[in-house]
C-alpha cells in the first residue's frame, strides 16, 4: 500500500527511513551480513570487557565515589538548611510519616466512635443511617425514677 498523501511529510520521511534501515540490516543483504558480524564482534568485546577484573574494580570505585558524593551533598544541604533554620528533607520526611500515622489513628477513632454511637442509640442509627445531619425529632427522655 503506497503512503497516502494525507499523512504529514515527517511521517512519510520516518516510514521511508525505517524501511531503509530494515533493508540495510536485513540478514540476507550484504550490509545486513556486515551489520550482524559487527554486532556479534562488539558483543564479544563488551562481554570480555565487563567481565574484566580491571573494569569491575574501576567501575566499583567510580560507583563508590558517586555514592560518597551524594552522601556528602545531602549532609551539606541538611547542615545549610539547619543553619538557615529551615526544615531539612529528613525532618520533612519524619513529619510526613507522623502525619500519616496520626491520620490513620484519627480514621480508626472515627470508626470506633461510630460503632459506639450505634451501640448507644441503635434505634436512631437504624432509622436514618444516610441522613446523619438531620435534626433529631426525638425529645430527650426524663431520667427514670428508681421508685420507692
58 in the same domain as 40: no
What would the mean pLDDT of 73-102 be, rounded to a whole number?
95
pLDDT-based confidence at 127, cuts 50/70/90?
low
Residue 61, in any domain of the structure = yes
Residue 81 in this model has a pLDDT that exceeds 70 = yes
pLDDT for the residue 27: 87
pLDDT for the residue 95: 96
pLDDT-based confidence at 7, cuts 50/70/90?
confident
91 in the same domain as 70: no
Q: How far apart are the first and last CA of the chain?
A: 104
Residue 68, in any domain of the structure = yes
Cα-based torsion angle of the residue sequence 59, 62, 63, 66 in order, rounded to the nearest 10 degrees: -160
60 in the same domain as 39: no
Between CA 134 and CA 63 the distance in angstroms is 65
Residue 148 in this model has a pLDDT that exceeds 50 = no
117 in the same domain as 95: yes
What percentage of the chain has pLDDT greater than the value 90? 60
Query: How many domains is the chain partitioned into structurally?
Result: 3
Structure confidence by residue, pLDDT tens digits, 33-56: 998 999 999 999 999 999 999 999
| Structural domain for 15, as ranges | 10-51
Q: Which of 86, 108, 142 is the last residue of a domain?
A: 86
18 vs 9, more confident: 18
Is the model's pTM score more than 0.75? no
73 in the same domain as 91: no
Residue 131, in any domain of the structure = no
Amino acid at each position: 500500500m503506497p503512503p497516502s498523501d494525507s499523512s504529514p511529510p515527517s511521517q512519510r520521511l520516518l516510514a521511508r527511513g525505517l524501511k531503509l534501515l530494515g533493508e540495510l540490516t536485513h540478514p540476507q543483504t550484504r550490509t545486513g551480513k556486515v551489520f550482524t558480524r559487527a554486532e556479534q564482534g562488539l558483543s564479544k568485546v563488551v562481554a570480555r570487557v565487563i567481565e574484566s577484573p580491571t573494569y569491575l574494580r574501576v567501575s566499583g570505585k567510580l560507583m563508590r565515589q558517586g555514592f560518597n558524593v551524594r552522601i556528602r551533598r545531602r549532609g551539606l544541604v541538611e547542615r545549610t538548611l539547619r543553619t538557615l533554620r529551615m526544615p531539612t528533607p529528613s525532618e520533612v520526611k519524619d513529619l510526613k510519616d507522623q502525619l500519616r500515622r496520626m491520620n490513620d489513628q484519627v480514621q480508626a477513632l472515627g470508626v470506633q466512635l461510630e460503632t459506639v454511637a450505634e451501640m448507644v442509640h441503635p434505634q436512631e442509627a437504624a432509622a436514618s443511617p444516610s441522613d446523619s445531619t438531620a435534626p433529631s425529632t426525638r425529645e430527650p427522655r426524663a431520667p427514670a425514677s428508681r421508685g420507692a
